[in-house]
Structure 1
Amino acid sequence: MSQEPDEVREAIAGELRLMDPGVRSSRTLARQLLDPEFTEVGASGRRWTYDEMLAALPGMDGAVGSGPRYEPSAFTGVLLAPGLVHLTYETELDGNRARRSSLWRRQGANEPWRMYYHQATPVPPGSV
């Protein structure tokens, strides 16, 4: 990660914060990291909007500090354009793996990076 541009490092930091149980269980903290135009296609295939995600996130996997936590790995990131970063990585949660892709955008030099889009694809057991 040390050779990544600052923008990519900041997006990865935001992604990691969104996996933190303290952030996942707090709509206030999650709101700081999700873009108002956020959408997600989850591992189940369900499409989520910003409001739906903020309402559901506290009850989703990884939101309880004493429960299973996301274990991320293999982060890669690319600055696609000024203010737009694409991340890919894998997670494991309670024995289930997923490949993930997200777009982070910043809409002004003084604005924070926020997740604009996220997609998760389950990895079948035994897959490479």
Structure 2
Amino acid sequence: MNTRHKLLTTLTALEQSLLQAEVRANALALDQLIDESFVEFGSSGRMFRKSEILCRPPNLPLLEFVPADFKLRELIPGLAQMSFHLRTVNPVSGEISNSLRNSIWRRSGHHWKLVFQQGLPMAA
């Protein structure tokens, strides 16, 4: 497996883990994945910092996330951008939303940490 493919596989797995209910509800797991300087601009238009992510309650009802079409762009060694489409389903209301997600990941020692994420609403 070449280096680029290995990095894409690693960061895709990290992105997918952040969408899992068990991880989203676990402040320790989130703390290990998210950098201290983290900022998110959500598809709702709201801005979040790491401290807000760690103390917010899990989404109720639990939303279903369906990611697709992961793309990697290595900006410089140790800094990478991931983009993907995300379909979010509310299993209670049946409401579906789609967004384009962009994330910046930075290598910290032997681990990657999320430093930035932006969600842009998309038409279905």
TM-score past 0.5 threshold: yes
Q: Could you list the per-position Cα deviations for residues 24-68 of structure 1 after superposition, in whole angstroms to 9, with x for gaps in the alignment?
A: 011111111111110000011111111011112x4236xx6xx33
Q: What SS class does the counterpart of residue 59 from structure 1 fall into?
A: coil
Distance 1:107 1:68, change over 3 A: closer
Q: Could you list the per-position Cα deviations for residues 84-127 of structure 1 after superposition, in whole angstroms to 9, with x for gaps in the alignment?
A: 1100000111111111000011133x3x11111000011134xx
The residue aligned with 2:38 is 38
Gaps in structure 1 of 5+ consecutive residues: none
Distance 1:78 1:9 in 2: 13
How is 1:110-121 mapped onto 2 (pairs within 5 angstroms)? 110=110, 112-121=111-120
1:82 matched to 2:77? The reply is yes
What is the CA-CA distance between 1:3 and the residue it aligns to? 8.4
Q: 1:72 aligns with which of 67, 86, 93?
A: 67
The residue aligned with 1:124 is 123
Partner AA of 1:76 in structure 2: K
TM-score of the superposition, structure 2-length normalised? Answer: 0.85
Q: What SS class does the counterpart of residue 13 from structure 2 fall into?
A: helix
The residue aligned with 1:51 is 51
1:18 matched to 2:13? The reply is no
- Is residue 105–residue 113 contact of structure 1 (8 Å, CA) maintained in 2? yes
User: Normalized per residue, which structure has more strand?
Assistant: 2
**Percentage identity across paired residues of the two chains:** 27
TM-score of the superposition, structure 1-length normalised? Answer: 0.82
Gaps in structure 2 of 5+ consecutive residues: 90-95
